[in-house]
Amino acid sequence: MSLDLTFIGQIVVFLTLVYLMRKHLYGPMAELMDARSKKIADGLAAADAGKEALANAELEIADQLKEARAKAVEIIAASEKRAAELLEEAVGKARNDAQGIVDSAREEVTAELNRARQTLRSEVADIAMMAAERVVEAELDASRHAALVDGIVSKGFGNA
């Protein structure tokens, strides 16, 4: 139970084993595990970065949507305004046209009326002349009293 040469031998065995374990078992495994932890950490970091990028992209999308919506509202407002303008223009033009038609019709009616009045006047004059001829056939000379009859007729039909 006392120390002897085995002690020296065991020191050699132990130190050799420490060296071999370090070189062939612990070293490679620790290296491997470090590499793996680094890989996992990198992966997690990449996942975080991806998440952040996604959040940023979503924010951007929301911004762009908002902008597009605002633009659409603007466009709709502008087109409604333009439509109202067009309508107004059309209504104005139609009103003008109608006025023109009414005016020309009125002029035509006036001209027709004047013409009719003229015709009527001359016819009434003729009729009156005939009537007067018949009434005063013998004693009245048509040519002598034409001026007198015309004066009566124009007085009588002056407002027709």
Partner 1 sequence: MDLAETSHGEGGIAGHLHYWTLKIDESNPFMQIHLDTMLVSIVVASGLFIFALWLKNRLVEGAPSGAQNFMESVVGFIDQTVSDNFPVHNPLIAPLAFTVFVFIALINSIDILPAFLIGNVAGLFGVEHFRPVPTNDLNLPAAMAVSVFALVLYYEFKLKPVHFMKSLVMEPFTNLVPVYLKPIVMPINLILKVVEEIAKPLSLSFRLFGNMFAGEVIFLLIAFLLLGGGAIGMAAGFFVGLAWTIFHLFIGLLQAFIFMILTVVYLSIAHQPAEH
List of residues contacting partner 1 (CB under 8 A): 1-11, 13-18, 20-22, 24-30, 32-33, 35-36, 39
Q: Which is nearer to partner 1, 17 or 87 (CB)?
A: 17
Q: What angle do CA 66, 81, 76 make, to 5 degrees?
A: 25
Q: Which is nearer to partner 1, 42 or 85 (CB)?
A: 42
Which parts of 22-141 fold into alpha helices (H)? 27-135
Burial class (CB in 10 A: 0-12, 13-18, 19+), 121: middle
Minimum distance of partner 1 from residue 43's CB (angstroms): 12
Minimum distance of partner 1 from residue 27's CB (angstroms): 7
117 close to 154: Cβ distance less than 8 angstroms: no
Minimum distance of partner 1 from residue 29's CB (angstroms): 5
